[in-house]
Amino acid sequence: METEAKGYNLSIPVNNFHLSYDDVGEGSIPIIFLHGYPFDKTMWKAQVEFLKSSYRLIVCDLRGFGKSKDEETHLSIESFSKDLIAFMDKLNIEKAIICGLSMGGYIVLDALKRFPNRFEALILCDTQCIADSTEAKEKRYKAIYEIQNEGPTAFNEGFIKNVFHKDSISNKKELVEQLRGVVFSNSQHIITMGLTALAERSETCSTLNEITKPTLIICGREDTVTPLVQSELMNTNIKGSILRIIDNAGHVSNLEQPHEFNKHLLSFLTGLKALNG
Q: How many CA atoms lie within 13 A of 81 on its CB side?
A: 20
Provide CB contacts within 8 A for 142, sequence distance 6+: none
Mean local confidence (pLDDT), 213-234: 98
Mean pLDDT of the chain: 96
* CA distance readout (Å), 130 to 82, 140, 162, 176, 222: 20, 15, 19, 28, 19
Helices (H) and strands (E) in the chain, counts: 11, 8
* CA distance readout (Å), 229 to 97, 110, 113, 128: 25, 20, 22, 9
Mean local confidence (pLDDT), 12-30: 96
Residue 67 is predicted with a pLDDT of 97
Global pTM reads 0.97
Q: List the one residue out of 152, 4, 188 whose CA is nearest residue 88.
A: 4
pLDDT over threshold 50, residue 240: yes
pLDDT digits (tens, 9 = 90+) for 128-149: 999 999 999 999 999 999 999 9
Could you give the percent of the chain with pLDDT greater than 70?
98
Residue 277 is predicted with a pLDDT of 65
Residue 22 is predicted with a pLDDT of 98
Which domains does the chain carry? 7-131+203-275 (3.40.50.1820)
CA distance 154 to 191: 12
Residue 4 is predicted with a pLDDT of 62
How would you list the strands of the sheet with 17-24, edge to edge? 7-14, 17-24, 57-60, 31-34, 96-101, 119-125, 215-220, 242-246
β-pair partners for 101: 125
pLDDT over threshold 90, residue 2: no
Q: How confident is the model at residue 50 (pLDDT cuts 50, 70, 90)?
A: very high
Mean local confidence (pLDDT), 258-274: 96
Q: Which residue has the higher pLDDT, 248 or 2?
A: 248
pLDDT over threshold 80, residue 269: yes
Q: How confident is the model at residue 183 (pLDDT cuts 50, 70, 90)?
A: very high
CA angle, residues 25, 31, 34, in degrees to nearest 5: 115
CA distance 225 to 103: 11
Q: How confident is the model at residue 5 (pLDDT cuts 50, 70, 90)?
A: confident
pLDDT digits (tens, 9 = 90+) for 79-94: 999 999 999 999 999 9
pLDDT digits (tens, 9 = 90+) for 98-138: 999 999 999 999 999 999 999 999 999 999 999 999 999 99
Burial class (CB in 10 A: 0-12, 13-18, 19+), 262: middle
Q: List the one residue out of 46, 156, 173 whose CA is nearest residue 101.
A: 46
CA angle, residues 52, 57, 59, in degrees to nearest 5: 125
